[in-house]
Structure 1
Amino acid sequence: MSNAVQNVWKHADSTPHAIALRVGKDEWSYAETRACIMRAATFLRARGARKGGRVLIVLPTSPEFVWTYYGALSLGAVAVTVNTMSAPREIEYFIRDAECDIAVGYEGSETALLPAVAATGRPCSILSPGAFSTAEVGERSSTGSYTDLPGDEPAVLLYTSGTTGSPKGAVLTHDNLLACAKSQSEVQAIGPDDRMGTALPLFHVFGQASVMSSVHHVGASLSLLRPFSGAGMIEMAAAHELTAMAGVPTMWNEMLHAETDVTAEQLGALRLCVSGGATLPLAVAAAFRERFGAQVMDGYGLSETTGTASGRRQGAPPKEGSVGSAMPGCTIAIFGPDHQPVADGVVGEVAIDGPVVMREYWNRPDATADVRAGSWFLTGDLGRMDADGDLWIVGRTKDLIIRGGYNVYPREVEEVLYSHPDVLEAAVIGVPDERLGEEIAAVVVTQPGRHVDLAALRAWLEERLSTYKVPRIYHLCDELPKGSTGKILKRALDPDAVIKDGVRVTQSR
C-alpha cells in the first residue's frame, strides 16, 4: 500500500520546518505544505472528488498547483493535469474522455475552461492566488493522513500530444511516481539540503514527476518561477542560491543569451542543471558552462515512462551527445523491426522496461497493445547504444527523412546547425520531392541582429556533413513553434509552406 504523497507527509513529520516550496520571497515549510494540501483535499472532496474518480486540473505553475495536485492524490483521486493553454474543445475532450468528476481552474486563465465545463455539466471551481495558503489555514500543525492504495492504482492521467488521432491518456500509478522520484534523486545525488528551481509547467510530466516529486522525495526545497524568462531564471538561481535547475533546451538557450548582470561567481552553489523534453544541442551546453560555470546534463524520458528512462550520473564522464544510461530499475534496448535487439551502434527503436512504465492508455487497449512488445514499451524514438549502455537519441521514427534512398536523422543535422555562430534555433524536416521522395529542409532562426547568407551556410554545412545530409531548402523565420514546455513542435511546421516560403539553395559558395 502506498500513495505518491507519502514523502511529503514523512518530511512534515521528521523535518517540519524544512522549506518545501518557494515562490519569490514567499516560502512554505513541509509542515505548512502538508496543511495546505489537506485544505485543498477538503475543498476537492466537498465538490465531488472521490477515491478512484478523476479531477481535471487546469492550473499554471504555482503553489496552488502543488497543493491541488497533492490534495487530489491524497484522497486517492486521479489528477488529470492538462495544458493551461488548451482550447475549449480540447478541454471538453479531456473531461469527457477521462470522465472527470470535477474541474479546477485558475483566476485569469479560466476563459477556455468555463465553456468546456458548461458543455459537459461538470462542477467547476476557479482558484485565486493564495488559495489554501497557510494564512488561511492558520499555524496549526495538521497531522491528518492520506488514503493508502495499492501501488498499481492510477495517480495521474497525462494526455499525449496527439500527433496521430485523438490524444491518449497515459495512466501513471502511485508506484510509477514513487519509482521516478527515487531513481531521479539517486542519479542526480539530490539530498535534503538541495534547492532545485524550475519554470517548467507542472502539468507536464517533466515538471511534476521528474522534478517536483523527486525534490519532495528527499525533503529538498523547490523554487518555482512563472512566467519563464531567461534572465528571471538566472536571477532566481542567484537569489535562492539554487544548487540545481531543470529546464528544456529552449530554456537553456534563452538563459544563455539572457541580458543579466548575474555572474558565474554568484551562481557558485549551482552544481546540477538537468535538461529534458528534447535533446540539448551540444553547442548550447558548452556555451552555458562557459558563461555560468554549470554543466547542463541531458536526460531522456516520456510521459509514458513517468518522464524517466535514462540520465547521466553525477560525476560520470560525459559522452558527447549521449542522454546517459538507463536509470536505476530501468532497462533500455534498441529494437529492429522484428522487435529484437540490434547490435551495439546500430540505429533502431528505443524500448524501455521497468517500474516507471505506464500501466496503460486510458480506455484504449488496442493503443496500449500497439506500444507493447511483451513487457517492453516501444517509444517510437530512434536511438543507438554503445557497449557501455549509453544512449543516443537520433530522432523519431516518424521524423526520419529518406532522401533518395538514404536515411537522414534530423537531429544530426540540427546539432551542426546549432554550432553555427549566427544560428539561434533550428528545425530540420523532410518535405515532398518528386525526384527523391523527400528533400531536406532547414527552418532557421538567426541570432538577434545577425544575417545568414544561405549559400555560405550550405557551404559551411558541406564541410561538416555528408553531402546527402545537407539541406537544400532553407526557410528563415522569426521564431519556431513551441509547446507549453518550450519544446520545438516540428509537427506544426507545414512542409508545403516551408517549400513555398523557403529558398532552394542549389549551389554553395
Structure 2
Amino acid sequence: MNLADRLRAAAERFGGRTVLTLDGAVLGYRALEVMSARVGALLRRRGIRPGDRVAVMLPNVPEFAVVYYGVLRIGAVVVPLDPLLKRREIAAYLVHCGARLVIAWHACAEAVEAGTAGTGADYLFVEPGEFRRLLRGVPPEHDVPATADGATAVILYSAGTTGRPKGIELTHGNLAGNAATVARMHALGVDDVVLGALPLYHAFGQTCVLNATVQAGARVTLLPRFEAGRALEVVRRDGVTVFQGVPAMFVALLDQPGVSDLSLLRLCVSGGAALPLDVLRAYEARVGRPIIEGYGLSETSPVAASNRGGPGRRPGSIGRPVRDVEMRVVDDAGREVRCGEVGEIVVRGPNVMKGYWNDPEATAEALRDGWFHTGDLGRADGDGFFFLVGRRREVIIRAGRTVYPREVEEVLYEHPAVRQAAVVGVPHPELGEEVAAYVAARAPVDAAELRAFVKERVAAYKYPRRVWFVEEIPTTPTGKILKRALAPPPAARPG
C-alpha cells in the first residue's frame, strides 16, 4: 500500500471535482493525480530511487500536494521542512537525513542554496508558472509501485518544546490509516470544505487536512499564513464547513469582531496543544459551535485520542482513544495507575511511528515495553476519558510539592485580561524551583492583580510569585508553547 494510491483512487472516483483552492487558483482531483505523476517521472529522471529522502520546503500552496504525492508515488521519502528555516537549520536537517534533493518555494532560494552547500543535496525551486511549464514537458508515469505498509513515507523533524529535534519516521500504513480514521470520525464528505490553515509540513496538517480530505473526496481551501481576520474572510467566501486549528488560532479568532458570524461551520477541531477550557467556553459562547478537542503527537501520525459529538464529548478532556488505538496512564515503572491518578500517557496502535531516524537508542527508549511513551502527564476517569496535565519535563517541584503548569495556566486564562499564558519553574536557592508565569495581555493588568487572582483559586504553593509581561509567547507552528525558549527577557516588563 502506498499513500499515493489514495489519491489515485480519489481521482478515479471524483475526476474533475475540486480538491484544492487558493484564492483564485483551483486544482481538481484528476489534475492533481496527473501532476503528481509528472513529478514522480521528473524525480526518476533526476536519479531519485525508492527510499531516497527528498526534502520538501513549501508553504500551504497547491504545489505542496503535487510534490508530496509525487515523491511518495515512486517510493521515495518526503522530509517536510518549514519554509522559514535558515541556512544552518536546513543544512543540519539535510545532513541528518541524507537528503538527495530539496524541492523548495522560490522565495526560499537564498537560504536553500546556502543550506545545501557541502551537503551533497541538489535543489529544485517551485515558482507556480514555471513549475507547471516544467511538468508539462514530462510525460506522467501513473504506475504506483507496491509499497509495504511498514515502509517509511515521511520523516518529520519536530522542533519539540524541550529538547533537540528528532527525525520521526512515519510509514505509509501509519499515515493512511490515521487519515482514514479522521475522515470517518469527522464524517467528512464530498460537500465539505476544509480550511487549510494548519501547516502542511506538519503531521496535523498532512493527516487531518490534506490526506483525510483526499480520502473523503472533499475540498481544501488553503491559507498560506494564518491571520485571524483573513481566515474569517476565507471561511465566509469559500463556505468552509470544517475548521481544524491549534489553540493559538482560536485565541486569535476571539479577538475578531466578526467571529460570531460563522454559521456555515459544522465542525471545529482543536489539536496540537492543550486547549484552555476558558478559551473553549468563550469561543463556543460567541460562535455557537462546539470545539472537538483531540490529542496526538507527530509520533502518533498524529491523532491518538479525540472527543466526539454529543455524549462522546467532555469539555476539558482530550477524549477517548480513536479506533484501533490503546492508551494508558502509567507510573515510572510502566504499571497502569488507578483511575484518576496522574501518570505518563502511553499509546499503542497502528498509528505509532516506526522510530526515530538513525537513532536506535532514542527509539528504544520511546517505544519500550511495546508502548510509545509520550512524555505527557495525564489522568483518565471512570468513563475512559483522558485529561492532560502537562509535560513530564515541565513539572515544577517547589519545596518538595508538585505543581502542574497547566493547572495554573488554566486559572490565568480565566482572567479576562489574559490572552496567552505560560507557567514555568525557575531556579530558587531555597525552594529548588519557584513558580513563574509569562503573560501576553489583551487589556491593562498588573502582576499583583494576577497573583491575587490565581492565589484565590489554587493552593498557596501553586500561584506564580513572578510574572513577566511579554508581547507574544513563542509557539511552534502547531501552537505548542516553546517553553525552552522562555527565559526572563531583558525587554520583558517584570511584575
Q: Same fold (TM over 0.5)?
A: yes
What is the CA–CA distance in structure 2 between the aligned matches of 1:58 and 1:402, rounded to whole Å? 41
The 3 A distance-change label for structure 1 pair 269 and 133 is: farther
AA paired with 1:78?
V
Does the 8 Å CA contact 2:198/2:478 hold for their aligned counterparts?
yes
What is the CA–CA distance in structure 2 between the aligned matches of 1:300 and 1:333, rounded to whole Å? 13
Q: CA deviation at 1:502?
A: 2.9
What is the CA–CA distance in structure 2 between the aligned matches of 1:351 and 1:292, rounded to whole Å? 34
| Greater alpha carbon shift after TM alignment, 376-385 vs 220-229 | 220-229
| Residue from 252, 255, 265 that aligns with 1:257 | 255
Provide the secondary structure at the position in 1 that maps to 2:324. Answer: coil
| Residue from 186, 195, 208 that aligns with 1:197 | 195
Does the 8 Å CA contact 1:36/1:132 hold for their aligned counterparts?
no
Does the 8 Å CA contact 1:187/1:311 hold for their aligned counterparts?
no
| Residue from 367, 373, 377 that aligns with 1:378 | 373
The 3 A distance-change label for structure 1 pair 271 and 489 is: same
2:186 matched residue in structure 1: 188
Structural mapping, 1:461-480, within 5 Å: 461-480=454-473
Q: CA deviation at 1:384?
A: 0.6
Matched, 1:340 2:332: no
1:423 matched residue in structure 2: 418
Does the 8 Å CA contact 1:301/1:310 hold for their aligned counterparts?
yes
Q: CA deviation at 1:126?
A: 0.9
Provide the secondary structure at the position in 2 that maps to 1:459. Answer: helix
AA paired with 1:23?
L
Matched, 1:161 2:159: yes
**How does the TM-score come out when normalised to structure 2?**
0.95
The 3 A distance-change label for structure 1 pair 143 and 270 is: farther
| Residue from 368, 393, 399 that aligns with 2:394 | 399
2:453 matched residue in structure 1: 460
- In the TM superposition, what whole-angstrom CA distance separates every residue of 1:308-365 from its partner, at most 9, and x where no partner exists? 1100123334323101110101000001000111111111001000000001111111
- In the TM superposition, what whole-angstrom CA distance separates every residue of 1:397-432 from its partner, at most 9, and x where no partner exists? 000011111111111111111111111111000001
Q: CA deviation at 1:110?
A: 2.5
Does the 8 Å CA contact 1:44/1:72 hold for their aligned counterparts?
yes
| Residue from 291, 294, 298 that aligns with 1:299 | 294
Does the 8 Å CA contact 1:442/1:471 hold for their aligned counterparts?
yes
The 3 A distance-change label for structure 1 pair 428 and 177 is: same
2:13 matched residue in structure 1: 14
The 3 A distance-change label for structure 1 pair 263 and 146 is: same
What is the CA–CA distance in structure 2 between the aligned matches of 1:231 and 1:288, rounded to whole Å? 15
Provide the secondary structure at the position in 1 that maps to 2:449. Answer: helix
**How does the TM-score come out when normalised to structure 1?**
0.93
Matched, 1:315 2:310: yes
What is the CA–CA distance in structure 1 between the aligned matches of 2:186 and 2:394, rounded to whole Å? 31
Provide the secondary structure at the position in 2 that maps to 1:313. Answer: coil
| Greater alpha carbon shift after TM alignment, 468-477 vs 161-170 | 161-170
Structural mapping, 1:43-442, within 5 Å: 43-130=42-129, 133=132, 137=136, 144-161=142-159, 166-260=164-258, 263-264=260-261, 267-442=262-437
Q: CA deviation at 1:143?
A: 8.3
| Residue from 483, 491, 495 that aligns with 1:490 | 483
Gaps of 5+ in 2: none
AA paired with 2:28?
S
AA paired with 1:502?
P
Q: CA deviation at 1:121?
A: 3.0
1:506 matched residue in structure 2: none
What is the CA–CA distance in structure 2 between the aligned matches of 1:394 and 1:499, rounded to whole Å? 30
- In the TM superposition, what whole-angstrom CA distance separates every residue of 1:216-261 from its partner, at most 9, and x where no partner exists? 111111111022100111111111111101111111111121254x
| Greater alpha carbon shift after TM alignment, 342-351 vs 5-14 | 5-14
Does the 8 Å CA contact 2:271/2:293 hold for their aligned counterparts?
yes
1:32 matched residue in structure 2: 31
| Greater alpha carbon shift after TM alignment, 106-115 vs 324-333 | 106-115
The 3 A distance-change label for structure 1 pair 149 and 420 is: same
Q: CA deviation at 1:164?
A: 6.2
What is the CA–CA distance in structure 1 between the aligned matches of 2:66 and 2:257, rounded to whole Å? 34
What is the CA–CA distance in structure 2 between the aligned matches of 1:150 and 1:384, rounded to whole Å? 36
Q: CA deviation at 1:288?
A: 1.7
Does the 8 Å CA contact 1:62/1:224 hold for their aligned counterparts?
yes
What is the CA–CA distance in structure 1 between the aligned matches of 2:129 and 2:2, rounded to whole Å? 26
Q: CA deviation at 1:444?
A: 0.4
Provide the secondary structure at the position in 2 that maps to 1:357. Answer: coil
Q: CA deviation at 1:472?
A: 0.6
2:494 matched residue in structure 1: 502
Seq. identity, %? 39
| Greater alpha carbon shift after TM alignment, 284-293 vs 462-471 | 284-293
Q: CA deviation at 1:14?
A: 1.4
CA RMSD, aligned part only?
Answer: 2.2
What is the CA–CA distance in structure 2 between the aligned matches of 1:385 and 1:498, rounded to whole Å? 41
Q: CA deviation at 1:269?
A: 2.3
AA paired with 1:370?
E
The 3 A distance-change label for structure 1 pair 24 and 499 is: closer
What is the CA–CA distance in structure 2 between the aligned matches of 1:217 and 1:174, rounded to whole Å? 14
Q: CA deviation at 1:132?
A: 5.1
Gaps of 5+ in 1: 504-509
What is the CA–CA distance in structure 2 between the aligned matches of 1:229 and 1:440, rounded to whole Å? 32
AA paired with 1:349?
E
Q: CA deviation at 1:133?
A: 4.8
What is the CA–CA distance in structure 2 between the aligned matches of 1:63 and 1:329, rounded to whole Å? 32
The 3 A distance-change label for structure 1 pair 111 and 38 is: same
Does the 8 Å CA contact 2:2/2:72 hold for their aligned counterparts?
yes
| Greater alpha carbon shift after TM alignment, 21-30 vs 98-107 | 21-30
What is the CA–CA distance in structure 2 between the aligned matches of 1:258 and 1:492, rounded to whole Å? 28
What is the CA–CA distance in structure 1 between the aligned matches of 2:395 and 2:108, rounded to whole Å? 38
- In the TM superposition, what whole-angstrom CA distance separates every residue of 1:181-201 from its partner, at most 9, and x where no partner exists? 111112212122211112111
Q: Structure 1 stretches (4+) deviating beyond 3 angstroms?
A: 130-138, 162-166, 496-501
